[in-house]
Amino acid sequence: MPLTFELCPGRMIGGSHPCFIIAEIGQNHQGDIEIAKKMIKMAKDCGADCAKFQKSELECKFNKKALERPYNSKHSWGKTYGEHKRHLEFSHEQYRELQRYATEVGIFLTASGMDEMAVEFLHELNVPFLKVASLDANNFPYLEKAAKKGRPMVVSSGMQSMETMRKVYQTIKQHNQNFTILQCTSAYPLDAEDVNLRVITEYQKEFPDIPIGYSGHETGIYISVAAVAMGAKVVERHVTLDKTWKGNDHSASLEPAELAELVRSIRLVETAMGTGIKQMLPCEIPCHAKLGKSVVAKVKIPKGTVLTLDMLTVKAAEPMGVRAEDLFQLVGKSVKEDIDEDESVVPEAKPEVRNSTDAEVEESRITLPGRAAGSTAPLTFSFTIQHRCAHVRLLSTEFFFFSFWVVSFTDIKMPLKFELCPGRMIGGSNPCFIIAEIGQNHQGDIEIAKKMIKTAKDCGADCAKFQKSELEHKFNKKALERPYTSKHSWGKTYGEHKRHLEFSHEQYRELQKYAEEVGIFFTASGMDEMAVEFLHELNVPFFKVGSGDTNNFPYLEKTAKKGRPMVVSSGMQSMETMRRVYQTVKEHNQNFAILQCTSAYPLEAEDVNLRVIAEYQKEFPDIPIGYSGHESGISISVAAVALGAKVIERHVTLDKTWKGSDHEASLEPAELAELVRSIRLVERAMGTGIKQMLPCEKPCHDKLGKSVVAKVKIPKGTVLTLDMLTVKVAEPMGVRAEDIFQLVGKSVTDDIDEDESVVPEVVDSYGKKAKC
């Protein structure tokens, strides 16, 4: 069966195609065709792909007793349930009018066929696809007839078990290849605890050759956005013009502004998924040029000197020198000219070997599997020895040199979860750890910094984080002395600018004390080795490694040896570099997490590359993976949590318009609070992945669940055949719809009138299998 197919003329779903968004008008039109038209136009204007209704032939959907029962709800449009439903039901001619209007507006139109006769009408109407509502998902005669029509099908799965859905899949598959199944919980409105988003993943495993989607009845949009991040290729949401209107579904529906935001957020997240290829992106070049670190002379190095490691360090340098990650490759090489202390070691000052690209490094590496043969246990592994042979021309003399990286091979397991802060575990089933990155958005004012710490706490973040530098250790002298004329500058030179924003050791102690009083964890990125020493002395709960130091391997090794947990960002890095980072930290410290990050401020959705989270999970299956985001808004970060991010870091500010290059890419307090709320909502919505009817679905099942009804009068003693039976919403509820085939061949112990429920008590040996 195809994983992609044409759901509507010219509109494919599945694979890499955009999520198909259904605006479920249902019967929220109040029985007024002009309201229905307004809702069709609204769905189009909000960016939905399809406007969907619910079509019933009432005498075919309900038995007589169900239609005659009193209905005195505040949502009722009549004294009986039948009167109520007739008020809301459009005629065939009205459906044709709505279809013409949808065509004029430019949006697809379909409906759920709520019974077999309604499906016949919709087929005649030539709708692009048939929608099967949850209450018919276990109605197998209906499914077979609908599938044989040959139209694509979208099948909701509320109130069903996984075993039933396997039967649904097989029933449709025999007759129709073009269908999709939607995870759904039939409660209105739906609490997050009952959403069970993990069923999407289970469906993807059970039915790998069809697209999987999500039909939601929750309030808000972020659970549906999370579903798309998890791979939902169809999203269906009820819509309304006013949640306060009469009707059961309005409170679980989206108003126009919410629908528009849902569509915008889904498209944003789809754009943000990226390729999963981890590499430095063009958008990161400005950040790398400004703050990327390279090799600097720690001492004066005369011409001809053979380099040793203690002669070199890594800084943000002007001009940029040899890449930080290539530091070890310089050891044992001689320089062609004098290099002053604190000067960049540029490629021209060493033997004629240009900076290696990742592709060149890859060619010379020994690749080892990440698991032992026949084992599912993850291994820590590294190269026993790696050598590179390079041809060098030095002072007109040609020779070969070898550089060696000698490391050990071990099989020490690392924890998938660990204690990041006292009493606060991350990874596994623990809640996502949310870092409010204050950075230097405090404007150099300690009172603003304190206010931001309190704001982070009030918004529900787990940790307030700053950036600590010892400037002469982070930058070389030329970098500090360069003019800085940006509108964001706090001084004439970059050094003056940075000194304005840098808090002293005593101020950090004051901030730490304040954070303890407020009740929030406090840490900082150590932006150089001396800053890490201070933070270690300050006894921060964990070290944050900024992307600018991720390829600074001496720094990583020294930091890892401190023994504190580490959170490592990965902006401006390649996957090959991140493998080395993992190995370097792992040799000394088991408790660390890696965050997907793109170093651009603000970050466009096209450059987020959320699929790297999944690649990291595969590459490093024994550590938690997270996300550090610089995009606008919160949808992408919420999507990262749905993909399994166990740490989320976002820059925060009190005012995006303040001076400073990070404010624009930061969240204001209301956004941070909404991010925290939405992350916690999505975590609760993940569920167990076990597909079964939930207690919250019982009211819907009792009201609208279908069961077996006599199509004709059946005298006592009659042996049942399939043509005597049908399935309806019946009063009282009879034998479950999905068990209709089990009744064939059994005799009844009492008379059953036409349109009466076939209850278990009147079927001889019901529950025992009979040969058909």
Express each pLDDT in 92-130 by its tens digit: 999 999 999 999 999 999 999 999 999 999 999 999 999
- The pLDDT of residue 385 is above 70: no
For residues 73, 78, 80, 83, the Cα torsion angle rounded to the nearest 10 degrees is -140
> Hey, what are 580's tokens?
């080395």
Please report the pLDDT score of residue 348 as a whole number. 78
| Number of residues in the chain | 772
pLDDT at 411 over 70: no
Instruction: Specify the range with the lowest mean pLDDT, choosing from 1-15, 231-245, 371-385, 459-473.
Output: 371-385
Q: At what angle do helices 553-561 and 575-586 cross, to 10 degrees?
A: 30
pLDDT per position as a tens digit, 712-750:
999 999 999 999 999 999 999 999 999 999 999 999 999
All CATH 3.90.1210.10 domain ranges in the chain, comma separated:
705-762
Task: Evaluate whether 478 touches 454 at the Cβ level (below 8 Å).
Answer: no
Phi and psi at 374, nearest 5°, equal: 75, 5
Identify which of 192, 143, 183 has the alpha carbon closest to the alpha carbon of residue 159: 183
Rounded alpha-carbon distances, angstroms, from residue 606 to 17, 273, 519, 574, 603: 16, 8, 37, 17, 8
Condensed to tens digits (0 to 9), the pLDDT of residues 677-709 reads: 999 999 999 999 999 999 999 999 999 999 999
Task: Identify the residue with better confidence: 386 or 18.
Answer: 18
Residue 766 confidence (pLDDT): 81
pLDDT tens profile 622-646: 999 999 999 999 999 999 999 999 9
Query: Where does 238-371 have alpha helices with state H?
Result: 256-272, 285-291, 327-330, 358-363
- CA 183 to CA 156: how far, in whole Å? 6
Residue 362: predicted pLDDT: 33
According to the 3-state scheme, what is the secondary structure of 682-724? HHHHCCCCCCCCCHHHHHHHHHHCEEEEECCCECCCCECCHHH
CATH for the stretch 705-762: 3.90.1210.10
Pairing of strands 625-629, 385-394: unpaired
Distance (Å, rounded) from C-alpha 586 to C-alpha 379?
11
CA angle 52, 222, 687 (to 5 degrees): 95
Token pair recorded at residue 690 = 């076990």
| Helix/strand/coil percent split, the chain, to 5 | 35, 20, 40
pTM of the predicted model as reported, rounded to 2 decimal places: 0.89
pLDDT above 90: percentage of residues in the chain: 89
Please, where in the chain does CATH 3.20.20.70 lie?
A: 17-272
**Residue closest to 685 by CA, chosen among 9, 2, 220, 55:** 220
Q: Which residues pair with 22 in a beta bridge?
A: 50, 236
Q: Is 60 exceeded by the pLDDT of residue 771?
A: no
Give me the chain's average pLDDT, please. Answer: 91
In a 13 Å sphere around the CA of 480, the CA atoms on its Cβ side amount to: 17
251's CB contacts (< 8 A; 6+ apart) are 188, 189, 219, 243
**Dihedral of alpha carbons 498, 500, 501, 505, sign:** positive
pLDDT band at residue 454 under the 50/70/90 scheme: very high
What pLDDT does 3 receive? Answer: 87
pLDDT tier at 767, thresholds 50, 70, 90: low
For 175, phi then psi, to 5°, come to: -125, -15
How many other C-beta atoms are found inside a 10 Å radius of the C-beta of residue 492? 11
pLDDT above 90 (res 653): yes
CA dihedral sign, ordered 77, 249, 25, 148:
negative
Q: Tell me which of 3.20.20.70, 1.20.950.20, 3.40.50.1100, 1.10.10.10 is the CATH number of domain 17-272.
A: 3.20.20.70
Query: Quick one: average pLDDT of 562-589?
Result: 98
- Kindly report, residue by residue over 485-531, the tens digit of the pLDDT: 999 999 999 999 999 999 999 999 999 999 999 999 999 999 999 99
CA–CA separation, 470 vs 555, rounded Å? 14
Secondary structure of residue 752 in the 3-state scheme: strand
Closest by Cα among 660, 642, 641 to 652: 660
Alpha carbon distance 166, 183 (integer Å): 13
CA 555 to each of CA 534, 559, 584: distance values in angstroms, whole numbers, following the listed order:
14, 6, 10
- Residue 464, amino acid: A
The C-alpha atoms of residue 691 and residue 162 are separated, in whole angstroms, by 5
- Residue-wise pLDDT for 551-567, tens only, equals 999 999 999 999 999 99
**More confident: 376 or 614:** 614
- Please tell me the predicted confidence (pLDDT) of residue 751: 97
List the one residue out of 351, 343, 298, 300 whose CA is nearest residue 320: 343
Average pLDDT over residues 438-452: 98
Phi-psi domain of 645 (left: phi exceeds 0; alpha: psi -120 through 50; beta: other): beta
The confidence band for 415, taking pLDDT boundaries of 50, 70 and 90, is low
**CA 288 to CA 389: how far, in whole Å?**
29
At 765 the pLDDT is 82
404 pLDDT above the threshold of 90: no
416 pLDDT tier (thresholds 50, 70, 90): confident
Three-state DSSP at 440 gives coil
Q: Residue 202 and residue 443: Cα distance in Å, rounded?
A: 48
Amino acid symbol at 83: E
Burial of 357 (0-12, 13-18, 19+ CB in 10 A): exposed
| Predicted pLDDT of residue 382 | 34
What integer pLDDT is reported at residue 226 of this predicted model?
98
Average confidence (pLDDT) over 525-547: 98
Helices then strands, counting H and E runs in the chain, come out as 27, 26
DSSP state of 714: B
Token look-up 């579904």 returns: 249
603-624: average pLDDT: 97
What DSSP string describes 220-262? SSHHHHHHHHTT-SEEEEEB-S-TTSSSTTGGGSB-HHHHHHH
